[in-house]
Structure 1
Amino acid sequence: MKPYQIIYYRGFGSPRAVWLTGRVLRQNELVSPADQAPFWDNLSASVSRFLTSEVDGITVRIEAFGQVFRTVTNDEGYFDITIDPAIELPTGRAWFPVRYALEGVLQPEGYEGKSGSGQGREVVKDGQLMIAPAYSQFGVISDIDDTVLVTGATSLWQTLRLTFLENAFTRLPFAGVAAFYRALQGGAVTTLFNPIYFVSSSPWNLYDLLIDFFRIQGIPKGPILLRDLDINASMISKEGHHLHKLAMIRKVMDVNPDLRFILLGDSGQQDPEIYADIIRDNPGRIVVAYIRDVSREADRDEAVQHLIQTAANDNVPMLLVPNTVAAAEHAAVLGLIDPDTLPEIRADRKADQE
């Protein structure tokens, strides 16, 4: 029998409400990727991410903030719960520990964990959750595909090739992203901590790959919000993509009612449309939206320009930028990042391009 595995996704929230989610599977843990891994190893790991054995109807015990909470997995092994910390949180802290455990379940006979025999042991996973400190200047909500990570999201075959045949070491970031996001997290006053949230329509099955990719590239840590893998027409449609990202962005904003946000995306899919909706529905809460220009079609460029004007009518600048440096220079003018970080961002972009 394969071992039980708790996969936790970084939680997030505010002093009043914290959202936690994860999944329970029966499978061996995936090994960390290697820089020079052969084609077959990458393909094997990718297939393993999608051929999962879900555990439904199992109670997950969650320990956080000195309290215990419980929830039950659904028919695809997912669990989620919104909790109230119900305590006064320490000033200046952003990350807090959380422990997940399966109630009434022990690892099967013959299982050996990383630290030796795991047979008969309780199934436990330690994780972290993020709460924006009260002094945060703003929050950042960023798309992933073709905004942070080169995916070729406008080409199905390119996306499949990169997903299944590459790993976290060989996937490429957009040039300069890591340094720019570090600058945004630090803000114009480098003692600040501005939380960053990553939103994508990619499936949760790719979560570990993205965690490794962000770590390898030096991109600041933050919650990564993906979606359930449901192979049907609605999942791959523009409407399904639009509705999922809208829901995740609204969740982030709802649990941070006092925080204003910067939005980052690309022109290739629906980010300008989604961000225009968010701007319209949340007057005064969006500082600026940066859209990386990745489209090459005149009709798409015209549609994006129309959305930029729509945002301007709502008093929010939405900029179509050719690269990370252009967005960073504008952010420095607005007082969102320290101008002294611009040389590092330019150097980071040059290094990534090389």
Structure 2
Amino acid sequence: MIKVKTGVRLGLIRSIMIMPYIGFGNDKEIYFLVRVLKDRNIGNAQGEDGAWHNFKKMYKRFSSWKIPNVKVKAVFQGSEQIAITDEEGYAEFHIPIPEGFRPTQNWEIVQLELIDKVRPRQGKVTAFNKIFMPLNHLEYGIISDIDDTIVPTGATRLWEMLKTTFFGNAYSRIPFPGVAAFYKALEKGRDDIKSNPLFYVSSSPWNLYDFLMEFMDVHQIPKGPLMLRDIGLSRDHLIAGSHFDHKLTQVEKIFSFFSDIPFILIGDSGQHDPEIYLQVIKDFPGRVKMIYIRDVKADRIQQVEDIRLEMKQLGVSMLLVKDTMEAARHALSKGWILDQDLKDIGISKQEDEQSG
């Protein structure tokens, strides 16, 4: 691969961008990642975009020119920290909470700036990132898979997954009916305040981050930090590990970061989410409130049932559901969402089915 300096000299790298990934904080620190790249100039999707147009945008995402070994400065509430990008262009930040700072809103802002000069006449390269900060009225957290949990992708069928990934866009990818309304209800909980944090953990690569964020925005799915996976050999060598190891590591990182709240875990039966969540129950006893698994793979019924029984012995229930309403009705029966929200989920599910 051509080195960055050569790319600059040949005029192949004309502008630089900082790609921020939504982070989260507790009473001790905030945590987030950024990536420094050649500016891909992808732009937002349009509903009328065709397959070839979508493919060209996706190609840009996966052919990103990473900028290694450069300094990025982050400023949060007056505190500064500088991190150096690794060989894949990533930089990781753990910024201590400034003394006396108390969040008054769920989302705080971090200012970002590239310190090093990569190309002549570069100018200032800046960005900002959003950080989820918990307030006092958290009831529980929600951790959800994405592929075949929120949106059908055919993740267990390679060609179908590649086709939907590379030739679709945020408008053409349609979530399972009722998902957005259900996640909004969980976000509000019983106190009707949008404060319960949502985290999305997936084995999709970081290259799809902006695509997935746009997808959530288009379909009004509540925003939250995305914990994705690198397709290079850095960032903890995640590509060398399995789907299981990656997701387990990320889920347990969230559990450790927010150590004083229980979690509802949502996944599907197709890619070993039940096995991953079983291990979480064992590693964090008493912390899992409920597990909802979307049934997408018939040949794993017995395996999933065996895991459900083992979870039950450990004091945690797992519900295998065919659609969103099953999970929503159960959540209402447990007092985790409001009566009106169940009605809204039902209406939303019908509208989604009609429009889909």
TM-score for the superposition, normalised by structure 2? 0.92
Look up the SS of the partner of 1:301 in the other structure: helix
In structure 1, the partner of 2:326 is 326
The counterpart of 2:146, out of the listed 108, 133, 144, is 144
Q: Does 1:58 align with 2:70?
A: yes
User: Relative to structure 1, is the Cα distance of residues 303 and 24 closer, same or farther in structure 2, using a 3 angstrom cutoff?
Assistant: same
Look up the SS of the partner of 2:306 in the other structure: helix
Structural mapping, 1:223-302, within 5 Å: 223-230=225-232, 240-297=242-299, 300-302=300-302
| Deviation of the 1:93 alpha carbon | 1.6
User: Relative to structure 1, is the Cα distance of residues 3 and 236 closer, same or farther in structure 2, using a 3 angstrom cutoff?
Assistant: closer
RMSD of aligned Cα (Å): 1.8
In structure 2, the partner of 1:174 is 176
Q: Would you say the 8 A contact 1:61–1:102 is kept in 2?
A: yes
Structural mapping, 1:17-56, within 5 Å: 17-56=29-68
Look up the SS of the partner of 1:173 in the other structure: coil
Deviations 1:215-239, CA, capped at 9 Å, x for gaps = 01010011011010148xx9789x6
In structure 1, the partner of 2:21 is 9
Deviations 1:165-211, CA, capped at 9 Å, x for gaps = 00011101011000000000000110351000000000000001101
> One-letter code of the match for 2:209?
Y
Q: Which runs of structure 1 show a deviation greater than 4 angstroms over 4 or more consecutive aligned residues?
A: 106-109, 234-237
Identity %: 37
Q: Would you say the 8 A contact 1:105–1:122 is kept in 2?
A: no
Q: Would you say the 8 A contact 2:36–2:85 is kept in 1?
A: yes
In structure 1, the partner of 2:136 is 134
Q: Does 1:98 align with 2:110?
A: yes
| Deviation of the 1:88 alpha carbon | 3.8
Q: Does 1:337 align with 2:337?
A: yes
User: Relative to structure 1, is the Cα distance of residues 21 and 236 closer, same or farther in structure 2, using a 3 angstrom cutoff?
Assistant: closer
| Deviation of the 1:3 alpha carbon | 0.5
Q: Would you say the 8 A contact 2:230–2:238 is kept in 1?
A: no
Unaligned residue ranges in structure 1 (runs of 5+): 110-119
> One-letter code of the match for 2:38?
R
Deviations 1:231-264, CA, capped at 9 Å, x for gaps = 8xx9789x60000001101111111111110000
Look up the SS of the partner of 2:117 in the other structure: strand
Look up the SS of the partner of 2:87 in the other structure: coil
Look up the SS of the partner of 2:298 in the other structure: coil
Deviations 1:289-315, CA, capped at 9 Å, x for gaps = 000111121xx1000001101111111
Q: Would you say the 8 A contact 2:73–2:82 is kept in 1?
A: yes
Deviations 1:281-336, CA, capped at 9 Å, x for gaps = 11111100000111121xx1000001101111111111101111100110011111
Q: Would you say the 8 A contact 2:79–2:98 is kept in 1?
A: no
Q: Would you say the 8 A contact 1:106–1:123 is kept in 2?
A: no
Q: Distance in 2 between matches of 1:236 and 1:68?
A: 31
> One-letter code of the match for 1:167?
N
